[in-house]
Amino acid sequence: MFDVKKMIKEITSKKEIKNVSFAGCGGSLACFYASYYYITREAKTISANYATANEFVHDTPKNVGENSIVVIASRRGNTAETVEAGRVAKKLGATVIGLAYEKNTAMEKIVDYTIYFDDAEGTPFEVGKSAYALKIAYETVHAIEGNEKYEAMVASMAKMNEIIPAAKEAIVPEAIKFSIDYKDDKIIYTMGSGTAWAAAQQQTICILMEMQWINSSVIHTGEFFHGPFEITDSDTAFLLLKSTGKTKALDERTLTFLNQYNHHLTVIDGEKYGMKELGEVSEYFDYDFYTAMLDVYNHLLADMRDHPLNKRKYMWKYNY
């Protein structure tokens, strides 16, 4: 297991860190949202940026420089836009950390630190990509400012090793029902708030659109009543990931409306599956929890639709 605390201590001993930026593409961007969210909610003196890699390259934030840590991620270590984002950050004097699954890649050649993650079935939660990113966030804030939630974050990181496997087993009946009820839908809206929003967004673009070819759009529950709710009919397909933190009130307001006007709604509620055990920091782990639960849902949905998750029309087949 990579020692993130040691790495951050080494970085902060050499330079004054004022900014932490996260850049990636697709799921490798979504996995950074909880880390970005943590810094923006907890840090008093550290700014944070969150951008898709190509936007970071073409419209780099002005606060990125020698007092920055820039975190990038690419499973194969060769996503062109992400590698270029790392190069841009390096030219500006930032310390660049790269997260990758594969070794000896293009990304390794341009970063200051490489963390190899593992997400195989049965591996500990805390060696996953998003877990390492979250460690970078809370270790940085703690090293520079100190934070009253630090111990709870460390304890919760370990606790997730127990919560996720148990929840993935317990949630199977709900996932089976979802696969049956949604297999014929032509469009599915995903919803969420807090860090659960990132899991909903990832579900829309990386699973429903990319891997299942189902039209989809993500809706933040805080924005639902400012336009999107007008598409609601009794049979409109919704999938809502309920926050376990402060933004739960936004989700509950949306649920009150949907329970009155809609009859095709699935809610995944982390509080039913152990997330209450994390206390006040649970909201920072919602992305990871829901991403893990959706892995169960998505394999069953793919089987029910006879549409494998690795099926593609364009990706990796053409130059784009």
pLDDT tens-digit readout, 197-215: 999 999 999 999 999 999 9
CA separation for the pair 210, 20 (Å, rounded): 29
User: Rounded to a whole number, what is the largest CA-CA distance in the chain?
Assistant: 59
> Percentage of the chain surpassing pLDDT 90?
96
Element (H, E) at 13: helix 4-14
DSSP secondary structure of 91-121: HTT-EEEEEESSSS-TGGGT-SEEEE----T
Distance of CA 204 to the CA centre of its chain: 12
Percent of the chain beyond pLDDT 70?
Answer: 100
Residue 261: closest CA among 295, 238, 279, 241: 238
pLDDT tens for each residue of 233-273: 999 999 999 999 999 999 999 999 999 999 999 999 999 99
> How far is 179 from 201, CA to CA, in rounded Å?
19
What is the Cα–Cα distance from 43 to 126, expressed in whole angstroms? 22
**pLDDT higher than 90, residue 320:** no
Q: What is the mean pLDDT of residues 179-202?
A: 98
**Strand runs labelled E in the chain:** 19-24, 47-52, 68-73, 95-100, 113-116, 187-192, 215-220, 237-242, 265-269
Query: Can you give the pLDDT at residue 121?
Result: 84
pLDDT above 90 (res 317): no
Residue 272's H or E segment, with its range, is: none
> What band does 316 get if pLDDT is binned at 50, 70 and 90?
confident
Tokens for 63, please give them: 């606060």
- Please determine, for residue 173, whether its predicted confidence score (pLDDT) is greater than 90: yes
Closest CA to 15 of 83, 92, 84: 92
Average the pLDDT over 161-170 and give the result. 97
Place of tokens 């409109």: 236
**Rounded-to-integer distance, Cα 200 and Cα 221, Å:** 11
Rounded mean pLDDT, 64-73: 98
The predicted pLDDT at position 234 comes to 98
Tens-digit pLDDT profile for residues 265-302 = 999 999 999 999 999 999 999 999 999 999 999 999 99
**Residue 318 reports pLDDT greater than 90:** no
89-137 pLDDT, tens digit each: 999 999 999 999 999 999 999 999 999 999 888 899 999 999 999 999 9
* Helix pair angle (129-144, 150-170), 10° resolution: 160
